[in-house]
Amino acid sequence: MLPSGPQLGGAPANFAYFASLLGEEGIVASRVGRDDLGDRAVDRIAGLGLSTDAIQRDEHYPTGTVDVALGPDGQPEFTINGDVAWEHMAWTPGWSALAARTDAVCFGTVCRHQAASTSAVTAFLKALRPSALRLFDVNLRQDRYTPALLHESFQHAHIVKLNDEELRTVCPLLDLGGVDLESMARQLRERYELEVVCVTRGAEGSLLVTASETVAHPGVPVDVVDTIGAGDAFTAVLASGYLRVVPLERVSVAANRLGAWVASRTGAMPAADEAVCSAVRNTLREA
């Protein structure tokens, strides 16, 4: 819920939407209530050209909402309302079939706060093919994470994305050191044998850290309206580029460009700008 009124969002839907703009098949796996907001969410997702087959409907709990307040710099503050449908996601035959054909999955901490959803997400991750990419987008929110949950989530992941503040929060919780962002990211990568650790730095761009290289990007200057969804756009480019074995330098350029464009628009899923999306796709696909 933004000050301007309800806006569809949430990391799973945002990620799937931006993946679809890149030419991938983005699928939302979540749960909404059997209520007006749930109906509107499903209709909106379908209207974006995304499949709604993996969206569960809950007869007892309402569709989840998050109250968002925007600071003067466009940075959001989130208040997550609890006892809602996505906290009760279930492992179903439909999700099992989806996991069997999934090439990449993005998961976070918020949806693993309650036992039911934790069990469903863990079952989904374990049912993936060995070749499927597991991308953990940390997204620390309120009190919805613990050191144990972070540790387990990192163990499931091939790639981790988090922002600079989250990295500074996570490292002490897991007894990791480091004097700067790069050294902290390297310790995290080494502890969990990750393929890539991505650290977003807001207007200052990003760091992509692997076993053999660090790719820094200074960011793309834009007039920030709000940053909701910008990180999810970055994550979608990261996943698409990794699956296509695109060099990290090009992935970094494409991810920063799409993320900056989202930050210059209102809401988490702005209408596609074909010039921007085409440029990003071309960056990921050029020889």
Q: Within 13 A of 94's CA, how many CA atoms are on the CB side?
A: 14
Whether residue 273 lies inside any domain: the answer is yes
Residue-level pLDDT at 255: 98
Whether residue 5 lies inside any domain: the answer is no
Residue-level pLDDT at 168: 97
Give the number of domains in the chain. Answer: 1
pTM of the entire predicted model = 0.93
Whether residue 25 lies inside any domain: the answer is no
Residue-level pLDDT at 12: 84
Whether residue 279 lies inside any domain: the answer is yes
Whether residue 1 lies inside any domain: the answer is no
By CB atoms closer than 10 A (0-12, 13-18, 19+), residue 173 is: middle
Whether residue 4 lies inside any domain: the answer is no
Query: What is the span of the domain harbouring residue 134?
Result: 90-285
Least confident window among 42-51, 113-122, 202-211: 113-122
pLDDT digits (tens, 9 = 90+) for 169-222: 999 999 998 899 999 999 999 999 999 999 999 999 999 999 999 999 999 999
pLDDT digits (tens, 9 = 90+) for 225-264: 989 999 999 999 999 999 999 999 999 999 999 999 999 9
Higher pLDDT, 262 or 4: 262
Whether residue 172 lies inside any domain: the answer is yes
Whether residue 85 lies inside any domain: the answer is no
Q: How confident is the model at residue 143 (pLDDT cuts 50, 70, 90)?
A: confident
Q: Which residues of 114-153 are buried (b: 16+ CB within 10 A; e: fewer)?
A: beebbebbbebbebbeeebbbbbbbbbbeebbeeeebeeb
Give strand pairing partners of 199.
162, 207
